[in-house]
Amino acid sequence: MLVIKNGRVMDPKSGWDQVCDVLVDEGKIIQIAPQIDKDEAQVIDATGLVVAPGLVDIHVHFREPGQTHKEDIHTGALAAAAGGFTTVVMMANTNPTISDVETLEEVLQSAAKEKINIKSVATITKNFNGQDLTDFKALLDAGAVGFSDDGIPLESSKVVKEAMEEAKKLNTFISLHEEDPGLNGTLGFNENIAKEHFHICGATGVAEYAMIARDVMIANATKAHVHIQHLSKEESVKVVEFAQNLGANVTAEVAPQHFSKTEALLLTKGSNAKMNPPLRLESDRRAVIEGLKSGVISVIATDHAPHHADEKNVEDITKAPSGMTGLETSLSLGLTYLVETGELSLMQLLEKMSYNPAKLYNFEAGYLSENGPADITIFDDKADRIVDSHFASKAANSPFIGESLKGQVKYTICNGQIVYKN
């Protein structure tokens, strides 16, 4: 039994925002009330702190099986807890890819050993071949929560349509990484800085928004739900908004790095600022923030992509893998670049980091209420922290190391258990 005393309890589902106490027992929230005193209970003094639903991240790469020198499910879970996350969804670009029931079961067995809730998608096409759909029904029955070929965009519109139809039939949805290889140059470098500084043809905007335009219109035609992953361009936000206004069932996420920084970060942080899609222009950064404000983008997801330092520290930056470790800076980036700047209220930030992503997948998560799950994040929203290179993640490939950010996670509680304490 646990009592969280005197915190600012914020629930984005109901809009509740009051200083009060929370009683937790046997994995559930038993009571939320102005004053709760239980002699036998452990007490957390949350005076001056925010008590929020455990954060939910629907886009993480935990690299198990196959690339556990970068991260494994255990260290990924520790990184999630340190970042205030109690539920995450793994992407399927492991080695082997999560394309069959056997691999999925192996991953979910490993995930079940961890103290936070770890879910997984399966691939849309077999081993990312872009051609043959996996057995959606069997994979759903075995515990997949959705489907994505994240990392390898689907070039065939025929396959996209078939995948949407199959997903719709099974009452699920597909998530898409949108960068058309046929329209793209070197990944990870936005086209402007790629040309001006690196003298290469970089990752173009049109590769992203043209593919989104195709897929949201297929979604409109099939009436299937499609989720657009980590959009980064101004035009992408407009295209998603257009499709939503048509009545298409389209949702979208943005990664914290895309609302926080621009392509210039590559000049100071090198390969740690290299990611797919790349950091873009200030006008794009402004546009994704406007998308969050208007609701066109309903979810913030990290795209947590750990890599080993040796892989990132190569002489030729174009050869370094794309992606950054993200779970342990996500909340701080939201507080610093969205809440402190007055773009979103703290409640709106929490909605996009807990309630909305949970709702997308119908998870029993992302809200605080009596009889609800005891998945809770307690943090100091006013604290200043300088990001250092000591992460719970195996990887430290963050372009935010050395930066002063707002917010410090104090406790993460999952299923009523304290899984992280600072």
- List, by residue number, the catalytic residues: 303
Q: Is 379 annotated as a binding residue?
A: no
Q: Compare residues 123 and 412 and give the one whose CB is closer to Zn ion.
A: 123
Q: Compare residues 59 and 352 and give the one whose CB is closer to Zn ion.
A: 59
Residue 47 CB, shortest distance to Zn ion, in Å, is 40
Torsion of CA 372, 330, 259, 200, to 10 degrees: -140
Q: Is 150 annotated as a binding residue?
A: yes
Q: Compare residues 150 and 241 and give the one whose CB is closer to Zn ion.
A: 150
**261 Cβ neighbours under 8 A, 6+ residues apart:** 273, 279, 285, 399
Distances (CA, A) of 386 to 261, 382, 392, 420: 17, 13, 16, 19
Residue 54 CB, shortest distance to Zn ion, in Å, is 24
Contacts 24+ apart (CB under 8 A), 34-37: 36/3, 36/5, 37/3
Q: Which of these, 399, 385, 255, 279, lies nearest to 330 by C-alpha position?
A: 255
Distances (CA, A) of 369 to 99, 165, 225, 376, 404: 37, 36, 29, 11, 33
What does the block give as tokens for 188? 């990870």
Q: Compare residues 134 and 408 and give the one whose CB is closer to Zn ion.
A: 134
Residue 73 CB, shortest distance to Zn ion, in Å, is 19
Residue 324 CB, shortest distance to Zn ion, in Å, is 12
SS3 for 288-326 is HHHHHHHCCCCEECCCECCCCHHHHCCCCHHHCCCCECC
Q: Is 95 annotated as a binding residue?
A: no
Q: Is 199 annotated as a binding residue?
A: no
Residue 133 CB, shortest distance to Zn ion, in Å, is 19
Q: Which residue is nearest to Zn ion (CB)?
A: 177
Q: Compare residues 147 and 379 and give the one whose CB is closer to Zn ion.
A: 147
Q: Is 362 annotated as a binding residue?
A: no
Please provide residue 164's backbone torsions phi and psi, each rounded to the nearest 5 degrees.
-65, -40
Q: Compare residues 119 and 177 and give the one whose CB is closer to Zn ion.
A: 177
Q: Is 385 annotated as a binding residue?
A: no
Q: Is 93 helix (H, G, I), strand (E, B) or coil?
A: coil
Q: Is 62 annotated as a binding residue?
A: yes
Residue 121 CB, shortest distance to Zn ion, in Å, is 12
Residue 310 CB, shortest distance to Zn ion, in Å, is 23
Q: What is the largest CA-CA distance in the chain?
A: 68
Beta bridge partners of 375: none
- Contact residues toward Zn ion (CB under 5 A) are 150, 177
Q: Compare residues 255 and 374 and give the one whose CB is closer to Zn ion.
A: 255
| Alpha carbons 171 and 146: distance in angstroms, whole number | 10
H/E stretch holding 104: helix 101-112
| Alpha carbons 279 and 261: distance in angstroms, whole number | 7
CA atoms within 13 A on the CB side of 269: 24
Q: Is 184 annotated as a binding residue?
A: no
| Alpha carbons 3 and 22: distance in angstroms, whole number | 6
Residues making up the binding site for Zn(2+): 59, 61, 150, 177, 230, 303
The binding site comprises 59, 61-63, 93, 150, 177, 230, 276, 303, 307
Cite the annotated binding site for substrate by residue number: 61-63, 93, 276, 307
